[in-house]
Amino acid sequence: MNAYAAATYRQTLERTLPPAELLLRLYEGAIRLVDIMKEAMRTGDIPKRSDAVNRLTGIFSELASAVDGQEPKDLSDSLVSLYLFLIQEVTLANVASESDRLDPVRELLSDLLGTWKTASVNARSAVSLSGASPVGAPEPPGVRRTLSVRG
């Protein structure tokens, strides 16, 4: 698959995935990037390490901006602070070449992924019990879904 086709596929996927699925994929990607960064630090692969840092900070920045200012405010503020902390830890691990510093980052991401998976399953169960449209059902044209700390 050429680069243009791959980019088009990714864009289409991002636009059509339900927000909960997109969130899970971002966490899975971030965990994968932490592993890539640790390996690149071990092997001295500076371009791969730099790419992982840039992509991780991009994911964390997107996650922070997606929840910033949402209700409940205390939860969104806590998530923004957490994402900023993760950016700081990844950056400091990179600058100091301390791969061990990435272990708590990976652990936090794994915990968050598990929590959001559980919340997603619970939300789907609640929707199916209520008879409402299931999560991931097609939306009317022109409707743009957004990520929300409320689901």
User: Considering Cα of 12, then 14, then 18, then 21, what sign does the dihedral take?
Assistant: positive
List b or e across 60-73, with b for residues whose CB sees 16 or more CB atoms inside 10 angstroms.
beebbebbeebeee
Residue 110 lies in a domain: yes
Q: Are 28 and 106 in contact (CB under 8 A)?
A: no
9 found inside a domain: no
146 found inside a domain: no
Residue 26: the pLDDT is 94
Is 53 contained in some domain? yes
Q: Give the per-residue pLDDT at 5.
A: 65
- Name the pTM for this structure: 0.74
Phi, psi of 128 (to 5 degrees): -65, -35
Tokens of 5: 């086709």
- pLDDT by position in tens, the chain (length 151): 577 766 665 666 556 678 888 889 999 999 999 999 999 999 999 999 999 999 999 999 999 998 888 888 888 899 999 999 999 999 999 999 999 999 999 999 999 999 989 988 887 776 656 555 554 444 544 544 555 555 4
CATH (domain of 109) = 1.20.120.340
> Quick one: pLDDT at residue 10?
60
* CA 138 vs CA 15, 18, 82, 117, 148: distances in Å: 12, 9, 32, 21, 18
Among residues 59, 48, 124, 56, the alpha carbon closest in space to that of 90 is found at 56
Structural domain includes residue 44? yes
Q: Residue 91: inside a domain, yes or no?
A: yes
Tell whether 126 is covered by a domain: no
On whether residue 151 sits in a domain, the answer given is: no
pLDDT (0 to 100) of residue 9: 57
The domain total for the chain is: 1
Give the separation between CA 68 and CA 53, rounded to whole angstroms. 22
Beta strands in 8-146 (DSSP E): none
Could you tell me the residue range of the domain that residue 39 belongs to?
A: 17-116
Q: What is the model's pLDDT at position 125?
A: 72
